[in-house]
């Protein structure tokens, strides 16, 4: 495994922020090639990290959730909690 839980969550926060920021920029600059490449790179990194996180530590969203015997989505801590 490449990352510990905290580190991987931090990485997801960073690449997700890049996606949000590029998303807003592209809304008003839809033909900016450099921004499109930036968006595509970070979106790919984000999707891969979300899948990695779900496999190792539990899902951050339902699209990447791997549900076997137990529905761990609701059982695990929530992000506003200090320990979350």
Partner 1 sequence: MWYYEKRLEFPVKIKTPDASLAQTIITQLGGPDGELGASMRYLSQRYAMPYNNVCGVLTDIGTEELAHMEIVSAIVHQLTRNLSMKEIKESGFDKYYVDHTTGIWPQSAGGEAFTAKFFQSTGDPITDLTEDLAAEQKARTTYDNLLRLIEDPDVREPIKFLRQRELVHFQRFGESLRIVQDHLDSRNFYAFNPAFDKQESGNNMQNRKGNCGCKS
Residue with structure tokens 């996606």? 19
Per-residue binder mask for partner 1 (CB under 8 A), 32-71, x = binder:
---------------------------xxxxx--------
Q: Does 1 bind partner 1 (CB under 8 A)?
A: no
Structure letter (DSSP) for residue 64: S
* DSSP three-state, residue 62: coil
Max Cα–Cα distance, the chain, nearest Å: 46
Q: Does 75 bind partner 1 (CB under 8 A)?
A: no
Among 4, 5, 7, 20, binds partner 1 (CB under 8 A): 20
């Amino acid at each position: 495994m490449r990352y510990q839980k905290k580190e991987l969550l931090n990485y997801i926060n960073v690449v997700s922020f890049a996606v949000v920021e590029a998303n807003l920029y592209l809304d008003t600059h839809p033909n900016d090639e450099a921004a499109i490449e930036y968006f595509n790179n970070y979106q790919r990194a984000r999707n891969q990290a979300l899948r990695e996180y779900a496999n190792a530590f539990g899902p951050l969203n339902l699209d990447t959730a791997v549900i076997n015997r137990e529905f761990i989505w609701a059982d695990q801590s929530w992000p506003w909690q200090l320990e979350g």
